[in-house]
């Protein structure tokens, strides 16, 4: 206490408090809960490409520690803060940031992290994001037209759980999924992809971390064919195998950037150009130690030069 008494948590920068919180809590969560933080550089890449604005309503349906939401808040404050009225900033913090998380302990962690960033911590729901939509009356209530449609978000940022196989009997208990039709089993991340798009408005933006084989391999072909009629695949950022190694997982991943089609412009978009980028250096070693020469900012800049959001 003698060492710490000269420092003020109240007056310190919110980003420093958030980083300290993640640093202290990360190892404990990985050791005891089977939960993983999405690496900061991957979150930064997703936020930098999506470019959220204060007018957007955001959701992370598998929010874990709420890291995508706190980073989105920081991005808006950094890029729009000086142009926003105190009322507009308050509206964004407390009404535009939403999360769903199945683990009640992770919900408390997310709410704590978000409170450290002075944002809308009360919008984290302790619920399974894959349940039928009648379990989210408060989300449907966000609509102003009275329709019972959960597609109310301008932006969805997420990293769904990987690896779990959902059997047919389990999928019948969950919400209805086109990709699960006549399938005896399906990986959880595929259901997570479809659910994320179900929550998204027409023209809305989605940044989602997925196993690379869904975007490259034959086994993921049915997913890509389904996507062609639902969304424009704006970009795919491929990561090295060790991207999640320091955080306790061994799977080759990619970040997919999608934009949901509008009904008026709905068509097969398999011939639309997609920005492809191999990010070999995320700024850390497989051990988690910092590594010079991160390519994250260069990847964001390259995307902005070649892709224009409609």
Residue 19 located in a structural domain: no
What pLDDT sits at residue 183? 76
List the chain pLDDT tens, one digit each, 310 residues.
888 788 776 666 656 655 666 666 655 554 444 445 788 899 999 999 999 999 999 999 998 878 899 889 989 999 998 899 999 988 898 899 999 988 777 777 777 767 666 665 568 888 888 888 888 888 988 887 778 888 999 999 999 987 677 766 666 666 678 887 777 778 889 999 999 999 999 999 999 999 999 998 888 899 999 998 899 999 999 999 888 887 667 788 999 999 999 876 555 555 678 999 999 999 999 888 889 999 999 999 999 999 988 7
Per-residue tokens: 71? 């980073």
Residue 16 located in a structural domain: no
Task: Tell me the three state secondary structure of residue 202.
Answer: strand
Distance of CA 244 to the CA centre of its chain: 15
Residue 236 located in a structural domain: yes
Residue 29 located in a structural domain: no
**Domain residue limits at 77:** 36-306
Q: What predicted TM-score, i.e. pTM, was given to this entire model?
A: 0.86
Domain count, the chain: 1
Residue 17 located in a structural domain: no
CATH number at 113 reads 3.40.50.150
Q: Which residue has the tokens 């990985």?
A: 30
Residue 178 located in a structural domain: yes
Q: What's the CA dihedral at 249, 250, 251, 255 to 10 degrees?
A: 50
């Amino acid at each position: 206490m003698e060492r710490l008494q000269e420092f003020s948590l109240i007056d310190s920068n919110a980003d420093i408090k958030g980083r300290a919180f993640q640093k202290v809590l990360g190892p404990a969560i990985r050791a005891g809960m089977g939960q993983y933080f999405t690496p900061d550089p991957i979150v930064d890449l997703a936020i930098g490409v999506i470019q959220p604005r204060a007018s957007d309503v955001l959701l992370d349906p598998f929010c874990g520690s709420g890291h995508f939401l706190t980073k989105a808040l920081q991005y808006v404050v950094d890029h729009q803060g000086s142009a926003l009225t105190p009322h507009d900033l308050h509206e964004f913090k407390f009404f535009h940031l939403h999360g769903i998380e199945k683990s009640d302990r992770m919900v408390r962690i997310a709410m704590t992290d978000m409170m450290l960033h002075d944002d809308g911590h009360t919008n984290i729901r302790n619920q399974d994001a894959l349940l039928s939509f009648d379990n989210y009356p408060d989300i449907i209530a966000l609509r102003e037209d009275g329709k019972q449609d959960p597609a109310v978000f301008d932006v969805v940022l997420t990293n769904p759980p990987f690896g779990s196989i959902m059997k047919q009997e389990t999928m019948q208990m969950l919400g209805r999924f086109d990709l699960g039709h006549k399938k005896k089993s399906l990986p959880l991340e595929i259901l997570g992809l479809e659910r994320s798009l179900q929550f998204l408005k027409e023209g809305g933006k989605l940044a989602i971390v997925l196993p690379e084989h869904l975007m490259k391999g034959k086994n993921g072909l049915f997913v890509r064919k389904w996507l062609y009629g639902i969304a424009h695949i704006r970009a795919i950022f491929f990561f090295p195998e060790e991207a999640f190694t320091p955080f306790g997982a061994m799977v080759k991943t990619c970040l997919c950037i999608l934009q949901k089609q509008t009904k008026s412009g709905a068509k097969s978009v398999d011939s639309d150009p997609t920005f492809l980028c191999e990010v070999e250096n995320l700024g850390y070693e497989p051990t988690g130690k910092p590594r010079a020469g991160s390519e994250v900012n260069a990847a964001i800049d390259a995307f902005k030069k070649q892709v224009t959001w409609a």
